[in-house]
Chains A and B, each alone.
Chain A
Amino acid sequence: MTEAVKIEGPQKTGITAEPEKPARSQWGEVWSQFKSHRGALIGGILFLLIVIGVVFGPLVYWNDAKYVPTGRDFIKLRDMRPIYHMLFDPSAKMDWAYPLGTDNLGRDTLARLMFGGRVSLAVGMAAMVLALLLGTLVGVLSGFFKRLDGMLMRLTDLFLALPLLPMILVAAVLFRESLALSIGPEAGVFVLIVCLIGITSWMPTARIVRGDVLAIKEREFVLAARSIGTRPSGIITRHILPNVMSPIMVSATLGIATAIITESSLSFLGFGFPPDFPTWGRLLNDSVDRMVLYPERVVWPGILISLTVLSVNYLGDGLRDALDPRIRGR
């Protein structure tokens, strides 16, 4: 204990002995720039709150998303209104134990929203990671190796010319059953949707990464690394990848947003997860038929999708500013 304090002592005096304000690390700079972007900060906090609520909510919430009441319970529990409905219609059927009401099968809406949020966010993040890996791989390869450049960029152009939404729809229907048979209905659809979104959204990342790699490749430190005999793999992982991290991070955040929207559009069109496995898009789709009587069932999943995407977009906007050293000083 005493030794640790002794070691800490001289370091502290070392920093305070600096004449100017204490030096900040690169990430400290990034953080201070990020903080000054109000929208990005609010977006980040909101996104964190949604993630925390969705991940830890079911642990503390008392109702089960999968519980379907039968018999008299079914009659008693179905079609409950949210508790705020009391404000303008005191006679409506509601219960304090079901804060957002129940659906036509008596399942708790809030529990299903949290469960659906887990699925939607998991799909979004997994698809984003897949798209990012593919995009970075293609971008780095075509930027770094001249021989591959022409071919890979033609491939990217071809992918950009594909009609993506129709093809995702077609593939989601055609491959669903065989995948469901091999690894189970929910896992099969999950893998299928993640793969489809990932495979169809790597192109912007690849283009941005390629551009940056092309610029960085010509810099002196890469030449220095090459001249001391570093192999291409070493140059890429040690010198180039860390320098293209910022565009990758920005496209990661924006990728989550598009992946969530694509997944919920698929679910909304009825080509996504099975009905007893809720996602936000699926919940919205299921409630459209009864939206005249129960508008809240449409509004809540919709608001959650929109809020998540909005917060992620603001987060990406702020990250782009924070990670850009040309803007950071201002």
Chain B
Amino acid sequence: MLTFTIRRLILAVPTLLFISLVIFLLLELAPGDPMAQVPLTVPPEVKEKMRLALGLGEPLHIRFWKWLVQFFWIEPQVLVDHIFGTSFSAGDLRVISWQTRSPVMDIVIQRLPQTLWVVGTAYVVAILIALPIGIYSAYKQYSWFDQLGTFVSMVGFSVPPFFSGVLVIVIFSVQLGWFPSIYDTTHKVTDWDSFVVQLRQMIMPVMVLALQITAQLSRFMRASMLDNLNQDYVRTARAKGLGEYVVVMVHVLRNSMIPVVTVIALGIPSIFGGAIITEQVFKVNGIGQLLIGAIEANDLPMVQTLTFIFAVLIVSFNLIADVLYGILDPRIRYD
């Protein structure tokens, strides 16, 4: 298992390098000009100097190498410095945003908690809702509960978050006035009242995100339970006289959770992608909104870094899912 994990870790390095090259080339080969926003009155030789100052003068492979060094060598040093108070990175050039002229990672670190808070809560809520629904609708297959669950999850698949989000805003904050329609990220939780305010403003974005995840997960849980409910060991357990609760919740559930756990791990990065839209709807200033703003402002270093962070998330959670599958299911040890 350890060799497998190490092998996968080593394999992840070329994958990440390739992805960073794709992202770099996509931004590089695009016809957009970062100098397009500069007024026409600026003379061409000044424009050329501005280009050089942005680091655009050098050939492609050197810039790619410099970006890699900045991202994989200097930025981790900055993180280490920040945590331990050392000064490895003093004087090194960091990835600078063209919008704010400050290091990109600093802004990302500022925005990350908002996204993680909303997305993380949504994921936990979705798992807590989806698993019981999946278990019960598999246990009572073709009952009215199962039919309803199928329908609801189909609807959850089909209603895009930018519609469900807008719909809940119209219903719950415009018509009923229960929840605020805009997520206030400067709100600090200090006592019970402010906690209630925080809860109220989180309910809608979390529920919108959770609806989608629940739809997928509950279907998957149901299918996985159904696969196991007809196995011989279930009959054996019942024949031994075990109670229905023990059979379903201990024997069947533990075996059914194996694929579900990996799906949960695999789904985490795609949730960040989905959060881009939800953040836009509820005006949460997380990394999704940061990405949209950076794209609109033609801030290439920011876009590069954010896209690459998404890629790192996907690759690492794929790895985690693979390793988890091996740990949970001894039949699929890869070595």
Please report A residues at the B interface, Cβ cutoff 8 Å: 39, 157-158, 161-167, 169-171, 173-175, 177-178, 257, 261, 264-265, 268-269, 271, 281, 284-285, 288, 291-292, 295, 298-299, 302-303, 305-306, 309-310, 313-314, 317
Contacts and interface: CB of A to CB of B under 8 A. Distances in A.
B31 A305 contact: no
5 shortest A-B CB distances, which residue pairs? A174-B30, A163-B310, A302-B163, A310-B158, A309-B158
Contacts of A257: 158
Contacts of A177: 31-32
B31 A175 contact: yes
Interface string B148-159: 000000110111
B27 A169 contact: no
B154 A165 contact: no
Given A292-B174, A305-B163, A306-B158, 8 more contacts: A173-B296, A174-B31, A264-B160, A281-B162, A295-B174, A303-B163, A306-B163, A310-B155
Contacts of B157: 309-310, 313
B15 interface: yes
A302 B161 CA distance: 10
A117 to B, nearest CB: 15
A288 B166 contact: yes
Contacts of B128: none
Contact of A163 (B27, B31, B307): B307
Interface of B: 15, 18-19, 22-23, 26-27, 30-32, 154-155, 157-160, 162-163, 166-167, 169-170, 174, 269, 273-274, 276-277, 280, 291-292, 295-296, 303, 306-307, 310-311, 313-315, 318
A268 B32 CA distance: 22
Contacts of B160: 261, 264-265, 268, 302, 305-306, 309
Contacts, number: 123
Contacts of B15: 157-158, 161
A284 B166 contact: yes
Nearest to A262: B160
Contacts of A292: 170, 174
Nearest to A172: B295
A115 B169 CA distance: 27
A170 to B, nearest CB: 6
Nearest to A166: B307
A265 B163 CA distance: 10
